Structure 1
Amino acid sequence: MYSLEGYGMKVKIYVPEIECESCVKLIERKFKAVQGIESLKVHDDSADITYDESLVKPEVLVQTIKDLGFRADVRPFERKTIKERLKDLKANKTKYELELKGISYAFATFLLLVLLQVTAYFAFLKNIPNFISVYGWWILYLDISVVALTAALWHFSSYKAKITCMVGMMVGMTFGMQTGMMLGAVIGATNGFFTGALVGMILGVAVGAFAGKCCGVMGIMEGMMAGVMGGTMGAMISVMMLFDHILLFMPVFILINIIILFGLSYMLFEEVVENKEVKKVKIDFATFASVCVIVTGVLFAIILYAPKSLGVGFI
């Protein structure tokens, strides 16, 4: 980790989040203000620093990089494979307590939504002609989409840590795209392209901007652009496939989107949560379920009462 080089000490600091030339320049600019630095060489995943031990300590060098939002240590970071991660989950469930809680929240909330909708059906929705055949599948996909998106956003919001621009833009883009795509597709099938694209785009932009703000304006822009694209494309997919085996297509479509959201949560755990300085924020079941119920209720009302284009509502 440490070695002598001339009259100075040399240390290699491992920084796994160095992903582009901008990251390198950011680190180099930061160290220009640090006294005692004799030389600095930034690589793809580490930084070699020669310093005057009487003026600066290696702990200060590590903290200087951490202050920029990168993970940094004088020891290499371990990256577990999915198989190793599953073994770790079985051996150390307390470490993954929050993730396991999120899964239980998601299943419980999904059952709550179904119960509320069944109650609403027998109370007044059964008077709508062909309600089950016209809206049944789409309400199911709406429930799954809202719960999956809320669970992913809940997991992301439950950890507070500095996030690099690259990771932050990925977060904003994924949330914006999948929110717009999933909800736009459902509402596009029940109400047509105009309503589906409008609702999907607005929600995708809002969620993408909210998630992307973790890394500033770059993440916000990435999230908003993804929301515009996902919202319009989601509605377009369902309208174009409305009479072409869409009910066979949708399970695969929804499943792939859920896998993408799972991949995002997995990436966040690898890149952010393994950082020992991360702070956990408690978000209880009542908050999680309330968000799902309110969002689903509003979208449910849009499906029933918002304008419908010609040709929809027959699948």
Structure 2
Amino acid sequence: MRYLTTRITRDGRDGYPVEPGRYRLVAARACPWANRTIIVRRLLGLEDAISLGLCGPVHDARSWTFDLDPGGVDPVLGYERLQQAYFARVPDYPLGITVPAMVDVPTKAVATNDFDQITRDLFFEWSDHHRAGAPDLWPEHLRDEMETVMKRVFTEVNNGVYRCGFAGSQAAYDAAYERLWTALDWLEERLATRRYLMGDTITEADIRLFTTLVRFDPVYHGHFKCNRQKLTEMPVLWAYARDLFQTPGFGDTIDFDQIKAHYYVVHTDLNPTQIIPAGPDLTGWHSAHGREALGGSPFGEGTAPDALPEGVLAH
């Protein structure tokens, strides 16, 4: 088992019932897996139901830390390290101290860190607490196809960039590189005729792809040697990524400085000097994308979440 697979559900069958105010989502803006939970929470309007704790971008072998908070202590949990919440659940927890983690505030212990399931449950199990106008991230008639698309995105793209970056041999790298670019070419073709991965509206499939695309040029192209092309050199994917970035709930969760600091400082095996590159130029994320010509509407019959001040996330 790689994760704490207990779930927070309506019926509380794992001991963790849906209960507004009870749980704290601990995430990091640097991490793509955590980033998706931040986006889903924001799109669904769960800010009042689930508080948000944010770790800084740089951690050591022991744990993510709350170094962004005054005194380096999470104001709700009273912890300096996320590791403490894991140990409260399983003393000397032997697996990775990962974000995202949903922490049960009364016990200050991690309820679950199963990143794939967390966002599903935010949609299906917390639906009574979604905001008015929350988008349908899992349209019923598309779910089977979504699972197929998301599986390929996960294995070939989300994980594919890491497979390239941490390949231990030339042969492993070459195979990983081929797999990644085969998938990116498939996405370039798929998105040429539809505005979003599943059609005319945003679904969770788009959220899962976006968090990799937005990190591609700042990190994966160079740091992970995924360098056949930059995202900015793939016209369809670049326009698609900008479309999402400019949609409320997506770009306003991104902090490029934290993203770069995380990868270039933490991965000392890949970057022993810990020098953080100055580039690339990121101003293009705000340029016109032209994807409206494909039709569709990001939130379908729903509405956009309220705008946030730049660089601020509702806790």
> How does the TM-score come out when normalised to structure 2?
0.26
**Structure with max Cα Rg:** 1
Q: TM-score, normalised by structure 1?
A: 0.26
